[in-house]
Amino acid sequence: MKSFVTPFVSAVLVLGAYSLAEAQVPTFNKDVAPILYSKCANCHRPGEIAPMSLLSYRAARPWARAIKAKVVAREMPPWFLDDNPQHPVADANVLTQAQINILAAWADGGAPEGTEPAPQPPQFVDNVNAAIGRAPEYTLSTPTIDIPASGQFPNINVWTKTPFTENTFFEATEMRPTNRSVTHHAGTFALAMPPGSSIGRGPAFKGGPEIDGILTKSDGTIDDGAGAEAAEFATSQISPAYFDEGPRRARGNTHNGIIGHYAPAGGFLKYPADMVKRIGAANQYVNWLLHYTVTGKPEKVRMDMFLWTSDPKKAKYEAVGSLMDDVEIVNGRELIGRERRPSIKPFEDKYTVVSMTAFDSPVTILNFWPHMHLRGRQMKFVAAYPDGHEETLLDVARYQFDWQLFYFLEKPVKLPAGTIVRAETLYDNSLKNKVNPAPQIEVPWGAMSWDEMHFPFVEFVLDNDVQPWTKRRSGTN
């Protein structure tokens, strides 16, 4: 049969198909911007950790193909939990398949801006996390510290006075360094100054730079007990007398003096409505545990901590935290006392640490911070209940050192007294580990990034301790 389609008809059909295809290409203004603004903008904005801003079409357009590649590979937004968690986490920053398809189709279709009105980009308070929606009421800071170009830089223990003279409650905290490139991680503790001590200018560590905020003991020696030896033992090295624990402790090293944390891509903590962090009248100092590292050139850094206050009338429980490490089993053998873990052997692809803690009072689990270095591959937190059944609380199945996130549970989990929380951790020092800088060397345990670390940190509230700050106890705040 002969075709009766004329050239004119053919042209119409081609143009019609082209117009239909063009109409189906997502546009930035209508389809792409809502995804970028809700899922990416908190990091991809000026002054934040991401390498480029995505707050406008002009800023995002050159990165269209890179955006497609990263989201299709599910490398961005960064997310490292197992795909089917028993307990979902809050604010899971994960793209749906439909959102991935939109971003990919936009890049493949030439990344058009669209004729729709340009959407209003989200508004941010400069240099603080977007999730809180308002400026912090308080900002506390360390002195600026000079970091040398090379060598090992021990952890620094800095003290600063707080402005608080009575119980002050916080719904959120954020720690943020002025120089991320030198900052390994950091923590803050609300403490009382040890008796007979003074705070002033002195060496950050033996042979280190002179800075303000150094605690000098009554015998004239510098107090570096909170971290100069090894950051992995930081919480247990601080004297329990510094903490307002009293009879409220759920276990031996529960610390409610912990106020904030910082790690790469993490540092913002926001608590449920009736749960707070607190700086009490007796604990008028912030102890900053600062772990910096060298970069090959001289650097400067200051750590800031932002505090958002909470309505005291809503405060019911105080969030406390601890490592899940009362017992440790390494490669199937239990460590005794303060026995150190053996080093990870060259090319060892399955080095395991199973650590655990038993709670002797009921608690509600709020969040997790798994911290390892470059050989760390997975950390799973499991609850073993008194009746014998177990469930996974959190499984960081694809851990990455560059993205040490804090994971808040969408619904906090209540655990009865007698529950054991177990952290199951895997390290890989083989060639299969793509971020491993030197699989041929033995890896010791220590504070430096080229060493390894095991830090299974969990925050929770003590269910039986309602408004503990209203109770009179000798020696507490």
- Model pLDDT, residue 341: 93
Look at residue 450 and tell me whether its pLDDT is greater than 70.
Answer: yes
Label residue 191 by pLDDT band (50, 70, 90): confident
pLDDT at 63: 95
Tokens of 33: 């911007």
pLDDT > 70 fraction of the chain, expressed in percent and rounded: 84
- pLDDT above 90 as % of the chain: 43
Nearest in space to 454 (alpha carbons), one of 421, 426, 434, 430 = 426
Mean pLDDT for the stretch of residues 236-258 = 38
Options 2.60.120.230, 3.30.465.10, 1.10.10.60, 1.10.3720.10; CATH for 324-468 is: 2.60.120.230
pLDDT band of residue 477 (cuts 50, 70, 90) is very low
pLDDT band at 125 (very low <50, low <70, confident <90, very high): low
Q: Does the 132-314 domain belong in CATH 2.60.120?
A: yes
Tell me which of 348 and 405 has the higher pLDDT: 348
94-115 confidence digits (pLDDT tens) = 888 999 999 999 999 999 999 9
Report which of residues 23 and 177 the model is more confident about.
Answer: 177
Are 132-314 and 324-468 equal in CATH topology? yes
**Pairing mode, strands 275-279 and 317-318:** parallel
pLDDT at 123 over 80: no
Query: What is the model's pLDDT at position 423?
Result: 97
Provide mean pLDDT across the span 293-317. 90
One-letter identity of residue 60: A
Structure tokens at 383: 């609850």
**pLDDT the model gives residue 12:** 42
pLDDT in tens, 46-60: 877 788 899 999 999
Judged by average pLDDT, the poorest of 19-28, 171-180, 328-337, 401-410 is 19-28
Task: Give me the residue label for tokens 């995804």.
Answer: 35
Domain ranges (residues) in the chain: 10-108, 132-314, 324-468
Q: What is the per-residue pLDDT for 394? A: 95
Cα–Cα distance, 116 to 114 (Å, whole number): 6
Residue 420 bridge partners (DSSP): 358, 384
Mean pLDDT, rounded, for 121-147:
81
Least confident of 121-135, 137-151, 172-186, 284-298: 121-135
Q: What is the pLDDT of residue 226?
A: 39
Locate tokens 């903490």: which residue?
243
72 three-state secondary structure: helix
Cα–Cα distance for residue pair 82/393, rounded to 1 Å:
11
